[in-house]
Amino acid sequence: MKTLQREAQAWVVRLGSQMATEDDAQAFRRWCARSRDHAQAFVQAREVWQAMAPAAQRVQQQEAREAARRRLPAPGRRAFLGGAVAASVAYLAVSPPLALWPSVTEWGADLRTATGEQREVAMGDGVVLQMNTQTRINLRHGAAQEGAGESIDLVSGEAEVLAGGAASARVTVAAGGGVVSAVHARFNIRHLDGEVCVTCLSGQVEVAQGTQHARLDEGRQLRYGPAGLGAVTGVDTGPVIAWRRRQLVFDQVPLSQVVAEVNRYRHGRLILTSEALGRSRVQASFSIDRLDDVAFLVRDVYGAELTQLPGGIVLLGAASA
């Protein structure tokens, strides 16, 4: 355990040094994925650094006052580094730069998929989960009442849920402050950036948020977020479930949204540096297994200026006049 703690502390220092590279990010992902103990050890080490930050700042202030009295330059380097590292680690852990690694709020999930990974999970009562890329799910043990079926919490990401168990068993998915449930149905649920999108693929799905309720039939979709439930609308389910065929399908979608979606599946990052370029409409289909080609297609089709950086980071901007 002491070895694990030392490793966690070393990661805290490395990630807080502002010198972390893409290789570091990949190694960190692998280290955290070894076990939940590894992820929790990092969280604990980070919390220790956070707790040290105020003390480090007080030491720095005391050194500065003493130096001022002696009319000497304030040393404070050790204290400053302690406070700076603690603060930067706290930020990096909660808001990873360019989303190069998961937020600490997601490391402890019961079920998770990595970037580009898809996973099938067979649960009880005939419930099957198809997890898409960068998805975090917690199993809500003890949350289901007598006669109810599986109950899960979609922390973030996307999943297709097949509920095909006994008539009395209802699968329940909590996401973004709402609850989606069904008995005999297949539905896609997506929880990203504080918004949840539910699409009924077959059967019937019920959605509840606070005192609001809605029912979705096959081919109907609903979005909800902090403002409450949106309207139930008809939708072409083909693009919604294209990821199940390892495809991404876009029909007159702004390029900014296309880039955001591609980044969920691709290591590294595509970054738009032009708002005008981001407003360009895209009608295309991409293979999830060949997403490195997207940047070159944007360059060729829209005349974008492409700049490749280490770590799979690509800048896409308007072509120079």
Q: What are the tens digits of pLDDT across the range 76-87?
A: 444 444 444 444
Domains and CATH numbers, the chain: 2-107 (no CATH), 111-236 (2.60.120.1440), 246-317 (3.55.50.30)
For 214, the enclosing helix (H) or strand (E) is strand 212-217
Of 132, 171, 176, nearest to 154 by C-alpha is 176
Q: Which one is predicted more confidently, 99 or 3?
A: 3
**Looking at residue 164, what is its pLDDT?**
78
**Looking at residue 156, what is its pLDDT?**
94
Give all strands (DSSP E) within 237-297, no chain letters.
Answer: 247-254, 269-272, 281-287
* Rounded Cα gap, residues 228 and 200, in angstroms: 19
Give all strands (DSSP E) within 61-194, no chain letters.
Answer: 111-112, 119-122, 127-131, 136-139, 151-164, 171-175, 178-182, 184-192
Are 109 and 152 in contact by the 8 Å Cβ rule? The answer is: no
Give the chain's radius of gyration (CA, Å): 23
Of 137, 143, 178, 138, nearest to 158 by C-alpha is 137
Burial of 87 (0-12, 13-18, 19+ CB in 10 A): middle
pTM: 0.67
Q: Which one is predicted more confidently, 33 or 213?
A: 213
Q: Mean pLDDT across the stretch 311-319?
A: 84
Lowest mean pLDDT among 36-45, 86-95, 280-289, 296-305: 86-95
Write out pLDDT tens, residues 166-203: 555 789 999 999 999 998 899 999 999 889 999 999 99
* Rounded Cα gap, residues 298 and 24, in angstroms: 29
Percentage of the chain lying above the pLDDT 70 cut: 70
Are 258 and 280 in contact by the 8 Å Cβ rule? The answer is: no
Write out pLDDT tens, residues 30-64: 777 777 677 767 766 665 555 555 544 554 556 55
* Rounded Cα gap, residues 213 and 188, in angstroms: 18
